[in-house]
Amino acid sequence: MGNRYQQKPDADNRRKRQPEVSKPTMMRVVQNLPPPSRLTPSATLRLQRTIGNQAVQRLLPQLTLTARVRGVVQTKLTVPNRATGLHVTRSAPTGVIQRYAAREHVRFGEVESMITPQEKKHTVKPDSPIYHPVETGESASKIATKYGISQDFLIARNAARYQVVDTPDGPKPVGFTKGDVLVLPGKTVADVASETGVSEASILASNSNTVKTWTVPITLKEFKGFDRGQTVIVSTGQMEVTHGAWASQATGQKIIKIQGIEFTYGQVIALGGDLYGDPEHMFKADKTELEALKALLVKEAKDPKSVTDDDWDLATGGRYLKLAEVNTSHYGPHDPALTPVMSKSDVNHKSEWEKYHRQALVAAQNGDKDKALGTNAFADHFLTDAFAAGHLFNKEDVMARFEKKFDAKAQETFFHDVAYSAWSKVGDKLDKYETYDTTAAKHWNISFPEYFQQLLQGIYADKDGKGTVLNMVVLMIHDDLNKQGVEVENQKGDKWSLSGDGKLNDRSLAIGRQAVAQSQVNVLNSVGKTSTLDFPALFKSVWDFTPRPTKSGVKLIDQLISRTTNPANPKTVRAAVDIIVEKIDIILKKLVERKKLKKA
- What residue ranges bind Zn ion (CB under 5 A)? 99, 273, 330, 385
Q: Is 330 or 334 the residue whose CB approaches Zn ion more closely?
A: 330
Q: Is 68 or 330 the residue whose CB approaches Zn ion more closely?
A: 330
Instruction: Tell me if 398 sits within 8 A of 474, measured CB to CB.
Output: yes
What sign has the CA pseudo-torsion 226, 229, 230, 235? positive
Instruction: Tell me if 472 sits within 8 A of 565, measured CB to CB.
Output: no
Minimum separation from the CB atom of position 501 to Zn ion (A): 9
Instruction: Tell me if 468 sits within 8 A of 88, measured CB to CB.
Output: no
Q: Is 211 or 488 the residue whose CB approaches Zn ion more closely?
A: 488
Residue 67 CB burial class (10 angstroms; 0-12, 13-18, ≥19): buried
- Alpha helices by DSSP H, 406-495: 408-431, 449-461, 463-484
Please compute, for residue 589, the number of CA atoms within 13 A of its CA located in the half-sphere on the CB side.
11
Neighbouring residues of 195: CB distance < 8 A, sequence distance ≥ 6? 122, 187
Residue 300: enclosing H or E segment and its boundaries? Answer: helix 287-302
Q: Is 156 or 275 the residue whose CB approaches Zn ion more closely?
A: 275
Distances in Å between the Cα of 14 and the Cα atoms of 279, 386, 448 are 53, 46, 11
Q: Is 273 or 279 the residue whose CB approaches Zn ion more closely?
A: 273
Phi first, then psi: what are they for 327, rounded to 5°?
Answer: -100, 25
Determine the length of the chain: 600
Q: Is 381 or 590 the residue whose CB approaches Zn ion more closely?
A: 381
Minimum separation from the CB atom of position 328 to Zn ion (A): 11
**Alpha-carbon span 33 to 440, nearest angstrom:** 12
Please choose, from the candidates 362, 383, 385, 333, the residue with its C-alpha nearest in 3D space to the C-alpha of residue 518: 383
Q: Is 134 or 268 the residue whose CB approaches Zn ion more closely?
A: 268
Please choose, from the candidates 238, 235, 217, 91, the residue with its C-alpha nearest in 3D space to the C-alpha of residue 163: 217
Minimum separation from the CB atom of position 509 to Zn ion (A): 16
Q: Is 202 or 375 the residue whose CB approaches Zn ion more closely?
A: 375
Minimum separation from the CB atom of position 11 to Zn ion (A): 48
Q: Cis before residue 126, ω within 30 degrees of 0?
A: yes
Which amino acid does the sequence have at 330?
A: H
Q: Is 349 or 416 the residue whose CB approaches Zn ion more closely?
A: 349
Give, in degrees to the nearest 5, the angle at Cα 227 between 221 and 228. 135
Minimum separation from the CB atom of position 105 to Zn ion (A): 8
Q: Is 99 or 583 the residue whose CB approaches Zn ion more closely?
A: 99
Q: Is 115 or 383 the residue whose CB approaches Zn ion more closely?
A: 383
Please choose, from the candidates 85, 89, 93, the residue with its C-alpha nearest in 3D space to the C-alpha of residue 74: 89
Q: Is 268 or 573 the residue whose CB approaches Zn ion more closely?
A: 268
Minimum separation from the CB atom of position 324 to Zn ion (A): 9
**Alpha-carbon span 59 to 32, nearest angstrom:** 18
Distances in Å between the Cα of 35 and the Cα atoms of 28, 38, 437 are 10, 6, 20
Minimum separation from the CB atom of position 99 to Zn ion (A): 4
**Alpha-carbon span 449 to 600, nearest angstrom:** 17
Minimum separation from the CB atom of position 102 to Zn ion (A): 10
Minimum separation from the CB atom of position 582 to Zn ion (A): 22
Minimum separation from the CB atom of position 91 to Zn ion (A): 18
Give, in degrees to the nearest 5, the angle at Cα 409 between 581 and 20. 45
- Alpha helices by DSSP H, 326-462: 349-365, 369-385, 395-405, 408-431, 449-461
**Alpha-carbon span 275 to 231, nearest angstrom:** 50
Which amino acid does the sequence have at 45?
A: L
Please choose, from the candidates 212, 232, 209, 200, the residue with its C-alpha nearest in 3D space to the C-alpha of residue 159: 212
Minimum separation from the CB atom of position 108 to Zn ion (A): 12
Q: Is 108 or 496 the residue whose CB approaches Zn ion more closely?
A: 108
Q: Is 65 or 271 the residue whose CB approaches Zn ion more closely?
A: 271
Minimum separation from the CB atom of position 510 to Zn ion (A): 20
Residue 263: enclosing H or E segment and its boundaries? Answer: strand 261-264
Minimum separation from the CB atom of position 330 to Zn ion (A): 4
- Helix, strand, or coil (residue 310): helix
**Alpha-carbon span 445 to 600, nearest angstrom:** 7
Which residue is nearest to Zn ion, using beta carbons? 330
Minimum separation from the CB atom of position 346 to Zn ion (A): 18
Q: Is 48 or 384 the residue whose CB approaches Zn ion more closely?
A: 384
Instruction: Tell me if 112 sits within 8 A of 256, measured CB to CB.
Output: no
Minimum separation from the CB atom of position 506 to Zn ion (A): 21
